[in-house]
Each structure stands twice: as structure tokens, then as C-alpha cells.
Amino acid sequence: MDKFIRSRIFALSLISVVFLTACSSSNSESSTQESTLGTSNGGGDTLRLLYWQAPTILNPHLSQGTKDFHASRITYEPLASYDKTGKLIPFLAAEIPSVENGGLARDGKSVIWKLKQGIKWSDGQPFSAQDVVFTYKFLSNPSVGATTTGFYEAVKSVEAVDNYTVKVTFKDANPAWGLVFVGQNGLILPRHLFLKYSGSNSREAPGNLRPVGTGPYRVVDFKPGDMIIYEANPFFREAHQPLFKRVELKGGGDATSAARAVLQTGDVDFAWNLQVEVPVLKQLEAAGKGKLDIVFGGLAERIFLNQTDPNKATKDGERSSIQFPHPFFTDKKVRQALSYAIDRDTINQQLYGPTGRPISNTLIAPDVYNSLNTTYKFDLKQAAALLDEAGWKVSNGNGIRTKNGVELSVLFQTGVNPLRQKAQQIIKQALTSIGVKVELKSIDPSIYFSSDPSNPDTVSHFYADVQMFTNGNENPDPGAYMKGWTCAEIAQKKNNWSRSNSSRYCNPEYDKLWTQSTTELNPEKRQQLFIQMNDVLVKDAIVIPLVARAKVSGSSNRLTGVDITPWDAETWNIKDWRRK
């Protein structure tokens, strides 16, 4: 544990001006000639991946679901990414900027990225600084409706100093410079293919389904919601890498079948997000065909309470609109009552075991941000007392509380998955016992986590009272994640439901703390600002943290090189994956 904590503290130091260190690339210089990747030794023929939540789009800047980022990450790359120790690793960058090498301004207002030279897109076109500039213009254009905009709102400008140098200038001193063009939210798009689709027509771009990237593999066939076929990128810069000739990413099914395919039958090489009860996982792992990969980071299963009324609609048909406050979740006592009524310990013990831990915080990693000021308690008597105080009484003989003729009734939605359906039942039983009527709804994950603005069943539409899913910071700097509860991030029709504040929570006190954090260069002071933000959310019971969830995937015993980080997609280093 001491080693784990030290690594998280190191992650914090990376985002401060004082402790930044340079990291040189271990990658070889790219070849300007087309290579023979995938046709020689070591890679084998086909790498088989199984994602029971099927990808539906391969443009990471238009994606809502983790599954889509993972599929995109196989072909797209960022300038750099964080490994599991919190160290920045260069991808398209030639080196990591620091004060010492002149890349990071001492006042924190700009950063210069030097790019590797000779890199080509998988269609043979040259990669340059202009692609980085274009990617920023694309995702920052409101007409595009990008889902990654929140990671870039501190940026004032991005300019190409020359073909292989990019300068990012911030609006003010920015301690979170390591969010920009880093990790799965920093993947670079090819200017020559998206230039014509960088406005309101962004979702019509052929590249959304047939991406051209700089990574080790390129897409040759994609059936959304089903299968993606990749082949080795013939222009990949690391010509010596013995890549697989073919990668098949199969989508669909369920988590248990995925676990069985990699751990018991050996039908696939890698299976993602094995959200399965631990006794079942251990039984399957005992077959000896595969092993579990368990990595804790910032992800947690949470309950979200809608602050708007999902049963009322505006003149143009928008539900869960900020025009209509929720009939009872705007009452803090009602929200707190629900928090008391949820048995986190039982949910963790019965469903997650060593792959989870019950939590009271919504910001849980790196450890330096984990607040010591909060606690959780399962207390049905206290929950009932709070509802009594709020005026919700059982008076109609059916056991359901009412107030002013309104029933305390909730629609509780989540994605289809055995763990989530069992958690729903545990929560429903407790809520029913205190007089809350609960209707359960389960949505296919490919729909629930879709970024389709026309689909009413997505997480961001939130046309229910309560919803449950996993989210969290996927960067050691939690700034962009904590922005997800600011007023400006409310998901609604006018932004194509592309923002992350699906609960429609708006609190000027919270916004003030977040704004302060965006320019605070002192890491200790900034740490305290994030802890205060967490405490506001928890004590306000806007979000109810349940269980810190490890990333749990399975890989074949034949597969080597899988090195999962909590700060990027599991496929981030797929160029290093090999079959024994």
C-alpha cells in the first residue's frame, strides 16, 4: 500500500509546475517506407478481443461510452499518456514538456510539444502539427458537439510553430496542462479527412466509422454494434514491431459470457470489463486458460439523482429540462434519505468482493484527493425520519409515501448487467421498506452509453429519476472530471446532450471552487479545493457513491504485454501485445 500511495503522490506532482520531470521516448524513429508489419515473426495471425458493450462510433471526440474510446484507441494516438504509476509516456510527442527542457512555461500559461518526425497516417499521408491544431479546432467548435470539450476549456489557442512543434497557450495559469492532448481524450484526428466535417455535419464524417490513425492498427471493416476488423498499419513508425496481421473486436453478449470465453474456453485473447460476481470469476479463472487483470483507479459505481423532472416536456419535446425542477429531488432531505437507505457494504460483499470497496467519496484517486471528511452509513430509521421531516407520509394504505397528492415514486434505470440488476434489487428492497415506490428499468449498454443525440435512453438524456453507472477521473488530474458537476456542463438539447452533467446539478458555490482550481498552481492548495468540491457533492447528496470499482479484464495465458493503466483505455499499449 505504501508503494501505491507513493505512486499516486507522484501522479499529483506531475501536474504541478514545481515537480515536472522530462521523459524521453523509447520509441524508435519512424520509417518513411511502408513496412511489412504483421507478416513476420512474433505476432501470430489474429488477436481476438471481446467487448460485451459493443462500440458504435470510432470518433473519440464524439463518443460517450468507454467502449468507443477503447476501440478508437487501437488506431488513434494522443501526444502522450499516463502509465499506471502516473508517469507521462510520449506517443506522438518526441519528449514530455518540462520547465527544464523549455517546454513548460514557468508561469504555467503555455506548453510547447515537440512532435516525432516522419510519422504517417495509416493512409500514407504525413502527420504534422497542423493535425494537432485542427483537432483542437474540431472539438472546440460548438457546432461539432464534441464530448471532450471540457478537457480543453482552459485553452486560449493552439498554434503550429512549425511542422513538428505545437504551442498550447492557456487563458490563465493552468496547473492541468497534462489534460490537453493526453490519454484517450487527447487522440489526434487527421485534418485531411475531417476538415469538411468540422461543423454541424460532424456526425456525417466517413471517418467516424472508418478511422485513419497513426497507431499500430487500422480499421478495414466496422459494423456498429457488432464487429470491428483491424489490420496492421503498414505505415506504423515502429517498423520492427511484430504485430498481429489482424485484430477482431467482437461486440455484444454479456459480461459473464465474455469472462467464460477468455478464462474458461480460451476462445478469445482479451475480454474487457468483466463486471461479474467475484465467485463466478474465480471459478472460471480456475480453468487455467486465462487470468484476471485488476487495476484500481478513479472509477466507481454511483447513483445519480435527477434535479429535473423527467415526466415534463418543453414545447419542443425536451424532457429532464432545466425549466422543470424535479418534484422531490430538489429537497436535500429526500436526497440524503436515499443515501442512508443504500447498503454499500452488502452490495460490495455480495457482488464485487476484492474488485471493489465501499466508498463515501466521489473523487477517490489519486489517493491525495480522497477526502477524510465524509462517511457513509446504512440506516433505514434515519432515512425514514428524514422523509418524515420533509413531509412525506404514508397515509394512503398502500405503503407509499405522499405529499400534496404526489407519490414518492421513482424510475430507476441502469445498463443491462447481472451485477447492476442485482444491485438494483438490493436498493429497491431498501427503498420500498421506507415508503418509496421503485420501478426498475434496464437498458442495453450499447444504447445506454451511446452518444446518439436522438436516442432518449442514453445516460446523458437521463429520462428517469435515478440512474446508476460507473464514472470517474481517467487522468491523474481530476479537473475535467470535477467540472462535470458545474452549471456549464449540464447536458441538454441545445448542446446535443454532449456534456457530462446529466443530473443537471447547478450550485454557484461549487462552480466557484472549480474555477479557483483551474488557476491554482500550488499543488497542496489545489488538492484542498478538489476535496472541498467532493465534500459539497457528497454532503449535498447529489451523487451517491457506492463502490470503487477496479478495472477488471481478462487475458489469455498465451497473451503477453498487457499493461493496464487506470489513466487510459486498456488498449493503450496494444502495439506491445504478443502471443506466446
CATH number of 300-475: 3.10.105.10
pLDDT digits (tens, 9 = 90+) for 221-236: 999 999 999 999 999 9
pLDDT in tens, 275-331: 898 889 999 999 999 999 999 999 999 999 999 999 999 999 999 999 999 999 999
d(Cα 313, Cα 519) in Å, to the nearest integer? Answer: 39
C-alpha cell belonging to residue 348: 460490495
Q: At 44, is the pLDDT very low, low, confident or very high (cuts 50, 70, 90)?
A: low
Give percent of the chain above pLDDT 90.
84
Indicate the angle between helix axes 2-14 and 523-540, nearest 10 degrees: 110
Place of cell 520547465: 99
pLDDT in tens, 335-361: 999 999 999 999 999 999 999 999 999
The predicted-structure confidence for 464-514, as pLDDT tens digits, reads as follows 999 999 999 989 999 999 999 999 999 999 998 989 899 999 999 999 999
| Structure confidence by residue, pLDDT tens digits, 173-199 | 999 999 999 999 999 999 999 999 999
The per-residue pLDDT for 450 is 85
Compute the distance between CA of residue 268 and CA of residue 445 in angstroms, rounded to an integer: 21
DSSP per-residue letters across 368-418: GG--SS------HHHHHHHHHHTT-EE-SSSS-EEETTEE-EEEEEEES-H
Please give the pLDDT value at position 13. 37
When pLDDT is averaged across residues 141-152 and rounded to a whole number, the result is 92
Q: Are 408 and 437 in contact (CB under 8 A)?
A: yes
Q: What is the pLDDT of residue 465?
A: 98
Q: Where are the domains of the chain?
A: 2-259+552-579, 300-475
Distance CA 443, CA 455 (A): 12
| Angle at CA of residue 465, ends 385 and 54, nearest 5° | 135
pLDDT number for residue 395: 83
Cell numbers at 172, concatenated:
490563465
pTM of the entire structure?
Answer: 0.80
CATH superfamily, region 2-259+552-579: Periplasmic binding protein-like II (3.40.190.10)
At residue 16 the predicted structure's pLDDT band, cuts being 50, 70 and 90, is very low
3-state secondary structure of 523: helix
pLDDT reported for residue 206? 97
Average pLDDT score over the chain = 91
Helix locations, 411-554, DSSP H: 418-433, 445-448, 479-482, 508-517, 523-540
Please give the order of strands across the beta sheet that includes 46-51. Answer: 217-223, 227-232, 246-251, 46-51, 270-271, 551-556, 290-295
Q: pLDDT class for 577, splitting at 50, 70, 90?
A: very high
pLDDT tier for residue 538 given thresholds of 50, 70 and 90: very high
